[in-house]
Amino acid sequence: MLFGVGLMAWPALHAHRARAQLRAALLSHADELLTDIALPSSRGGMLTVEQLARGDGFLLVVHTRFLGGQVSGLDQQRWTRSGNGGSWQFSNPVRELGAVVRALRALVGQQYLVHHLVVFTDRTTFDEEPPPGVSDLRGLDAAIREILESGIPKGDGDPGWELIQQLAAPSGSEPRQRRQRAELRQAQGRWVRLGRAVLVSGLLASAGIWLIALLGTAAG
């Protein structure tokens, strides 16, 4: 029965481990990392940034998707994830990050190269070649290296980074957690069903053993 409970809890545990793995990978290439911040948009309002890494002449803005399976429609406004007997559409994460990248470039000018990275936390396959800056955890380190090798550092960017730190406001983790909960509900379907099946089987087995023992006692 404990095994069944573990199966139901697996998606949330996996998400926690994925965040830790992503943080470690980013800090292996970057000097500083800001998490769950909001930056002013050039069009007004605030933009939520999940993770922003700063390294030697570069900024890397990272958003995570707690999804896996087959992803299609990469040239569309909404991508489609298929697997586990169903499909689910979600906003094109590369286009979503475009606004964040433009805002960062407006803030730092030529001081930094600004890159983006969308990370799928589960095993993901694509029906066509994914756009640059899209990876799952298996290819995370290689994706970061490829991004950083794609341009030459701009030079001294400390003033730009200081400006970002001054303007950044804590966004809280609620925007990320809201999306994570929605995506985890999709992933949890099969694990919850399997966990419930294991629990029911365990309960039935326990009831059967108890009933046999009871009948044996009565017969004695």
Among 12-26, 87-101, 127-141, 154-168, the minimum mean pLDDT is found in 154-168
* 91 SS3 class: strand
CA–CA separation, 79 and 132 (whole Å):
15
Domain residue limits, the chain: 14-187
pLDDT digits (tens, 9 = 90+) for 161-177: 888 888 888 876 565 56
What are 14-55's pLDDT values in tens digits?
667 888 888 899 999 899 999 888 888 877 788 889 899 998
Nearest one of 34, 65, 29 to 49, comparing CA atoms: 34
The predicted-structure confidence for 180-204, as pLDDT tens digits, reads as follows 655 555 555 554 555 555 555 655 6
Q: How high does pLDDT run on average in the chain? A: 76
The CATH T-level fold of domain 14-187 is Trna Endonuclease; Chain: A, domain 1 (3.40.1350)
